[in-house]
Amino acid sequence: MRSLVIAAIALAFASTAQAQAKIGAQLSWGDESDLGIGPRVEVALPSQSVNLRFVGSFDYFFPDNSRTDYSYWELNGNLAYSFVAQGANSIMPYVGGGLNIATASWTDVGGSNSNTEMGLNLLLGTQFESKNITPYVELRAELSGGEQFVIAGGFLF
């Protein structure tokens, strides 16, 4: 299953190699995993709709957990559709959905353990277009896999 997801992401990037890409960083907060940081990439998809894009992100979270050694991260691959707000071309709200892979690893008295799950995302966000930098704010509901509500914000270049 993991190979299939990696192949799908690679195919999405290969087919959009000529498309406009933006990269950046984000700060996230999850209601189950606390603070997270990570990179983000957005690639406009060549289609009839110029408002459709692939959004990929990786979040490494710093959960407040009493276990001696605990780590949690998520890999997200989503499709987002942007709406152009009337009279405000710099504000671009969007909705979308996609997949997440969530991995938790921990070491405690019983030894080392890990758990990886795949799930679905629903997105709602806004980008603030400008000449050189694009700030954004996003709400992400993870229906399975990570199973949390995430607020993310950052900058794309």
Give me the domains of the chain, ranges plus CATH numbers: 2-156 (2.40.160.20)
Which single residue is written with the structure tokens 């299953």?
A: 1
Report the alpha-carbon distance of residue 83 to residue 89 in Å, rounded: 10
Full-model pTM:
0.83
Residue 11 makes CB contacts below 8 A (sequence gap 6+) with none
pLDDT per residue as tens digits for the range 36-45: 999 999 999 9
Asked if 12 and 77 count as a contact pair (C-beta separation under 8 A), the reply is: yes
Residue of 129 and 68 predicted with greater confidence: 129
| pLDDT class of 120 with cuts at 50, 70, 90 | very high
Report the alpha-carbon distance of residue 57 to residue 44 in Å, rounded: 15
| pLDDT class of 50 with cuts at 50, 70, 90 | low
